[in-house]
Every structure is written in structure tokens, then in C-alpha cells.
Chains A and B, each alone.
Chain A
Amino acid sequence: MDLFSSRGASPMLIASQCQAFDDPDYIYELKMDGFRCLAYIEPGKVDLRNKRNMKMLDKFPELGELHQAVSATCILDGEVVVLVNGVPDFYRLQKRTLLTDRFKIHMEASRCPASFVAFDCLYLDRQELNWMPLMERKNQLLDNVKENSRIAVSRFVEGKGKAFYQAAAARKLEGIVAKRKESLYYMGRRTKDWVKFKRMADEEFVVAGYIQKGRRTYSLILAKCREHTLVYKGHVTSGVTKEVIRQLTVTGIRPFHILPMGNEEAVWVAPTHVCRIEYMPNTKDVLRQPVFRGFRDDVLPREVQI
């Protein structure tokens, strides 16, 4: 079975945070605040898979017609985004993925439709393109995708990383990605060829418990895995609502061996939820001004390693 029919592709990962740089060997494109997905597209059919290879089209029925914009059987790599006030809104997108009622999904799809921003093409007409340099894959992408309101081809600039980052940051966008023009597509791997510069740093944590701070204020207790044990990593309060707390399952079992002061009132929960925390980038290993940015169901707790 080939890459297409086995659904065996996995997205190439992006190395994290570094300072923006200018380099003529690189192109720079926007980092969209959305869900990374691979779209398997063939005549009359679309199969959208997230990073964990789960089918996503049920949640995004408005993307079921992507095949009309594409002239060949292909695997496209891109980001599913929902725009609110002209910029990608991760909250709104995440709200959608939590819906299960088909009517509610369709309602949200018509009120606030998602788009697929394609930035790579790793399979085309029975051929794997992974071993082709990025710029050639970009050309194939441009030749085979006709943009419409549901699908776009990611724009990029050459060489000018610093200025592009400034422009993105000025609009409070998530950040930009630098990709080496010659880079090959290494499936499921993180290489130095693809690097992101982000305005805010973000990280995934496992939710280990919570503390009620006031009538409506809660802190989540954050953790990461070291092999199979949970390690305490701190708190986040901003952005944590009662709705968030309601999704957790209380167990009362403390998952840590070592625990600093200030956790006496903790309510321990089942470590089944992974959340995304945004914070001001800094050189020390601390969470500065952390903000809770939602749960992720495309990351497993055991994948959140130190």
C-alpha cells in the first residue's frame, strides 16, 4: 500500500523558538494559530487527519469540498484555521473540536467556517514528494491548488525574516516559520530546517489538579511526564474558567512525590487532559505571565515529556 491509501504520512515537525534572522536560503511564512492537519485529497473525496491521524472532517464539514479546488490526488500539509475579526482564533477553533452534536457543528460551520491553509505537498499523483526540495514542492502546490474561500496556499517571503516577523508581531499574530529552501520533508521529525519564531512562547502541560482561589477564580496545577511519572511544573490562573474545571475528573489521588508549598488546597484530577499554556518568552525555565489557552485533544498526556 502506498502513502496515500495507507494514510501513513505524518507531518514534519517544526523546531522551536529562536531569534528571527535574515537568510537568503530561507523562506518565511506565517505561523497560523490553528490545528495542523494533513489533507488526503482525491477526486470527489477528502480525508482530513490531525497529528494523531484521527479523522477530523466530521468536525469540519465545510472542508469536505476541498477536492474541488485541487486537480490531482495528493496529500497536502497545512493548518486548519478559523478567523475571527480577520485573524486566526484558536479558542473558536478549539470550541468546534469539542462539539459532538452534528447540528451544532453545522451551525458553527456556517457561522464561523474554517479554512485550510496549505503550505506543503508531500504526495502527488502516486508519487511521494518528500525527497524533493521545498521550493519544488511549493511549485507543485501552487500548480495544483486553486484557492477559494475554504482553501488557501500559504504566502511566503524570501530572505527577510526579521521584517516579516515584525509585521506579524505588530498584528499580534502567532509568529512565523523559517524554512530552508532546500529542505526535504522528513515525516514526523523535527529538524533545524524548519524553525519557528513566536511572539509568545507556548508549551503543553498535563493538568494534574486545581486550586479554587476565589468564587470564580481557579488555578490549574501543571505537570509534565518524565518517562511514566508526573513532575510538578507550576500553576496557571489566567484564562482558567469554571467551564475548564468542569471538564476535569476528580480522583483525589496526589500524583506527585515531591510538591512545593502552596498546594495544600489542591484537588487532584485524573491526568487525562493536556492543555496549552502561553507565556512571555524568557531565558529562565519559568512560566512568566502564563495564560491557559485551551485543552488539546491531539496530544496524549504521555507525549508531554520534560
Chain B
Amino acid sequence: MTNADIIKGYEYEKGKYVVMTDEDLEKIKTKKDKTIHIIQFARMAEVNMIYYEKDYYAVPDTGAEKAYELLRQALLSQKKVAIAKTVMGTNEKLLVLYPTREGIIVKTLFYYDEIAAMPKTVPKMKLDENELNMAKMLIENMTKPFVAEEYQDEYQARLREAIMKKIQGQDIVAVDTAASSNVIDLMEALKKSLELSEKKDQRSQKRLTGTA
């Protein structure tokens, strides 16, 4: 089988496919476009968190630094974000650009029709005022600023440590002790070999003059 034998299709029912020819796809292909097109501005709070997908840092190309800084400062002072579109691979992605002190962050967003509805309506139960107050008090007591650095995946940390230990154990067996891993040694050795060959030259010259 070669590449030419592979066709593209869509399984619309189990075992049933429609074939999409290259022509079909070419017609609807998204035009390659590396630019980010801003469509509108909004307040960040208006973008429901459920649409958040992934984050990227946006950095300006050389020459575009001023336009970038202009956008960043204007957004920041108006407390607004930009809603934009760009092409990633073959997909047209919806984005939100939001300013920070360091630069602009790009968040890719899910489209509205990619978000599933809540699978079940949760009944709004009647609550006892005392219970609610208790719960509120508990929340109040446990509230403190969120510091991301304080949280770690502790299982991952232990797992990595265990992997690291094993590798280091194996490295000790595999290490080539003859060669130094220090770059200073390399440079010194080279310099020394040069000095040695110079001395040898001088000695052979002396011998030559001695016999003459």
C-alpha cells in the first residue's frame, strides 16, 4: 500500500462512510493565514470560563513591538480583552487576547456549539437559614489568597524522584570515566599539548644547532 491508496472519509454511521476527495476538501479549505484578526473587544468577565481551552504567550515579531505594546497598554487601561480569530493548522480558532503586565496572553476558546449542556437539571432545594450560615462561615474561615506555587502534584513528584534515582543508578554503571565532562579540562589539555609541541620543537632545534 502506498500513500496514493489512502483516501479521506467520514464515518457517518457505523460501517458507512462518505468519501471526501482532495477536490472537495480544497474547495472548503481555510485560507492559510498566520495573522490574528481582531473582531471585537469585550470585558474579560463576559467570556464565560467554560469556553477556555489552552493558553499561549503572544510575542511580537521584530518590527511589531510597538503595535504590540500599543494594543497591550490600550487593553490594560480600558480593562478590555480582544476577541479574535486565527488559523492553526487547518482549524479556524477563536481566541481571546488579554493583556498582562509582561505581555499579551492568547487563550483559545471552544466554540459555542462545542460545549455540551449540563446533563441533568439540579433541583434548587429549599435550605435552612442556619445551615447556610454555617456553610458561609466555614468558607469565610478557609478563605486565603490563592498562590499557585503552593500546590503540587505530590504523586508525580514522588514518581519523578523514583525515576531519577533509578536513572542515576544506571548512569553510574554506564558512565565513561576516561573522558572528563568538564570543558575546562578540554581547553587546558589543548593548550598544554600546544606548549609541549613547542618545547619539543625548541629541543630539536637546539640539538640541530648543537651538532652543527
Q: Contact residues of A with B, CB < 8 Å?
A: 30, 32, 81, 83, 85-88, 103, 107, 110-111, 113, 115, 117, 147, 149, 152, 154-155, 157, 160, 163-164, 167-168, 171, 173
Contact = CB atoms under 8 A, between A and B. Distances in A.
B187 interface: yes
Contacts of B183: 32, 81, 83, 88, 115, 117, 152
B193 A167 contact: yes
Given A83-B181, A110-B164, A155 B187 contact: yes
Contacts of B191: 155, 157
B59 to A, nearest CB: 9
A167 B164 contact: no
Interface in B2-22: none
B190 A168 contact: yes
Contacts of A110: 164, 168
Interface in B129-171: 160, 163-164, 167-168, 171
- The 7 lowest CB-CB distance pairs between A and B, nearest first, are A86-B179, A155-B187, A85-B179, A152-B184, A115-B183, A83-B181, A152-B183
A147 B171 CA distance: 26
Contacts of A85: 176, 179
A147 B184 contact: yes
B182 interface: yes
A167 B168 CA distance: 34
B158 to A, nearest CB: 12
Contacts of A88: 183, 186
B53 interface: no
Main secondary structure, interface of B, reads: helix
Contacts of A30: 186-187, 190
A190 B182 CA distance: 30
B211 interface: no
Nearest to A147: B184
A117 B160 CA distance: 30
B186 A83 contact: yes
B171 A111 contact: yes
Nearest to A164: B194
B55 interface: no
A118 to B, nearest CB: 11
Contacts of B163: 107
B185 interface: yes
Given A86-B185, A86-B186, A88-B183, A103 B194 contact: no
A45 B119 CA distance: 51
Contacts of B184: 147, 152
Contacts of B69: none
A167 B184 CA distance: 16
B154 to A, nearest CB: 14
Greatest chain B CB density within 10 A among A86, A152, A164 is at A86
Nearest to B191: A155
Contacts of B198: 160, 163
Contacts of A86: 179-181, 185-186
A135 to B, nearest CB: 17
A167 B190 contact: yes
A155 B171 CA distance: 30
Contacts of B187: 30, 117, 152, 154-155
B65 to A, nearest CB: 11
A171 B167 contact: no
B153 to A, nearest CB: 11
21 contacts: A30-B190, A81-B183, A83-B183, A83-B186, A85-B179, A86-B179, A88-B183, A88-B186, A110-B164, A111-B167, A113-B181, A115-B182, A117-B183, A152-B183, A152-B184, A152-B187, A155-B190, A155-B191, A160-B194, A163-B194, A168-B190
Given A81-B183, A111-B171, A163 B197 contact: yes
Given A83-B180, A86-B180, A157-B191, 20 more contacts: A81-B183, A83-B182, A85-B176, A85-B179, A87-B186, A88-B183, A107-B167, A111-B171, A117-B187, A149-B182, A152-B183, A152-B184, A152-B187, A155-B190, A157-B194, A167-B190, A167-B193, A168-B190, A171-B190, A173-B190
A277 B197 CA distance: 33
Contacts of A167: 190, 193-194, 197
Given A86-B181, A111-B171, A167-B193, A155 B188 contact: yes
A64 B113 CA distance: 46
Contacts of B190: 30, 155, 164, 167-168, 171, 173
A111 B171 CA distance: 8
B58 to A, nearest CB: 14
A81 B164 CA distance: 23
